[in-house]
Amino acid sequence: MSINEKASILIIYTGGTIGMREDPITKSLVPMKFGMLLDEIPELSKLGYAISSITFNPPIDSSNITPAIWAQLARTIQKNYTKYDGFVILHGTDTMSYTASALSYMFENLDKAVVMTGSQLPIGVLRTDGKENIITSVQIAAAKKEGRSVVPEVCIYFDSQLFRGNRTTKKDSAQFSAFASYNYPALARAGVDIVYNFERINYPKNNGVLKINTAIDDRVIILKIFPGLNRHYFENILQMADLRGVVLESYGSGNMPTTGWLLAAIKKAARSGLILLNVSQCPGGKVVMGHYETSIALQKAGVISGADSTVEAAVTKLMFLLGQNLSSEETKYYLSNNLKGEIGV
């Protein structure tokens, strides 16, 4: 394995904590210009790569990320795909897993690395984690083996670990290890060397031209099951006009109360054409429909198992599939099956 000394890398700066600085008057954090951010990382020039950048104007706090931004990112990479060996997206941490999941579904024939990263402390702060995150992300984006990208996936690099993007969730807002991939091992770990887990990386079977599909239907909602769930609210949400899909966050391995009214509401919603996807509230493990009596009724009602997918991967997958003008049965089929490494096979 080698790193291409003359690799060309495109950094796409969307915003987020990594590009913040303290306003000298208000003392609040405000976005800095990308050129100022690069000035804080002179080490990048020592890598010997041709590094270019595109900056979102204005920079976007990750709390304000929308499907339109996902589409903009996908189009930006497609437009520049033939010019660069790899891509690094700087993004706020709060919604990074949602963006990484959505992008993974939008790309077809991806054979270059798209590495997302950010930081818990602004780049201008003395103890920032941003420098190492950016430097190593650029190295990973540039890495090649036998002429092809080492990690041709949408990934998240944070605190010395590289994860498949659609397997991640943000686990901590106070530690540098902000992300975890509970149901899938890391694709790489960065210590003295960057050690890749090659057998866990997805390599494209076809080397066709990169295609993107940015169609999204946002008429979906996430409903978390909890003790004391109000019947009136639950029934009314499922009956909302124009709602097309629901991600149900259930207990454990996919269980919900066997209360008559709740099951009746779910059955009624499924019969009306609503797509219901069941994922676990537990960060680790998976939904096993029919394993316990409490989930057998859900399975019979037509609720789809999300297996071991994260909530972020599940809701973006549902939005993506609903945007493809598929039949209800086709949508359910693809929800149940692995598309981009988001669920176990």
What domain count does the chain have?
Answer: 2
**Closest Cα partner for 314 from 276, 288, 270, 262?**
276
Q: Name the helix (H) or strand (E) containing 335.
A: helix 328-336
Residue 109 located in a structural domain: yes
pTM of the model: 0.94
Contacts of 217 (CB under 8 A, 6+ apart): 244, 245, 319, 322, 323
Q: What are phi and psi of 215, to 5 degrees?
A: -70, 125
Residue 323 located in a structural domain: yes
Question: What residue type is 77 in one-letter code?
Answer: I
Last residue of a domain, one of 160, 177, 212: 212
Asked if residue 181 lies in contact with residue 163, where contact means CB atoms within 8 angstroms, the answer is: yes
The verdict on 45 and 143 lying in the same domain is yes
Residue 344 located in a structural domain: no
pLDDT > 90? residue 133? yes
Contacts of 128 (CB under 8 A, 6+ apart): 18, 119, 121, 122
CA-CA distance, 101 to 115, in Å (whole number)? 12
pLDDT > 60? residue 3? no
CATH number at residue 43: 3.40.50.1170
Asked if residue 60 lies in contact with residue 14, where contact means CB atoms within 8 angstroms, the answer is: yes
The verdict on 199 and 234 lying in the same domain is no
The verdict on 321 and 244 lying in the same domain is yes
The verdict on 17 and 139 lying in the same domain is yes
CA-CA distance, 242 to 259, in Å (whole number)? 26
The verdict on 226 and 200 lying in the same domain is no
The verdict on 228 and 149 lying in the same domain is no
Residue 78 located in a structural domain: yes
pLDDT > 80? residue 282? yes
Q: What is the mean pLDDT of residues 323-339?
A: 96
Last residue of a domain, one of 177, 212, 247: 212
Residue 345 located in a structural domain: no
pLDDT > 70? residue 331? yes
The verdict on 74 and 179 lying in the same domain is yes
Q: What is the pLDDT of residues 192-210, one digit of tens each?
A: 999 999 999 999 887 779 9
Q: What is the mean pLDDT of residues 15-32?
A: 77
Q: Look-up: residue for tokens 């031209």?
A: 209
CA-CA distance, 306 to 336, in Å (whole number)? 7
The predicted structure's pLDDT at residue 325: 95
CA-CA distance, 117 to 153, in Å (whole number)? 14
Q: Would you please indicate which residues are annotated as catalytic (active-site) residues? A: 17
The whole domain housing 109 covers 2-212
The verdict on 130 and 65 lying in the same domain is yes
The predicted structure's pLDDT at residue 207: 72
pLDDT > 80? residue 20? no
- Within 10 angstroms of residue 46's Cβ, the number of other Cβ atoms is 8
CA-CA distance, 288 to 311, in Å (whole number)? 16
pLDDT > 60? residue 45? yes
pLDDT > 60? residue 1? no
The verdict on 239 and 291 lying in the same domain is yes
* Residue 345 CA to its chain's centroid (Å): 19
Looking at every residue in the chain, the average pLDDT score rounds to 92
Residue 212: pLDDT band with limits 50, 70, 90? very high
CATH number at residue 293: 3.40.50.40
The verdict on 280 and 318 lying in the same domain is yes
Residue 286 located in a structural domain: yes
Asked if residue 275 lies in contact with residue 244, where contact means CB atoms within 8 angstroms, the answer is: yes
The predicted structure's pLDDT at residue 345: 63
Residue 342 located in a structural domain: no
pLDDT > 90? residue 328? yes
pLDDT > 80? residue 290? no
Q: What is the pLDDT of residues 223-244, one digit of tens each?
A: 999 999 999 999 999 999 999 9
Last residue of a domain, one of 212, 245, 265: 212
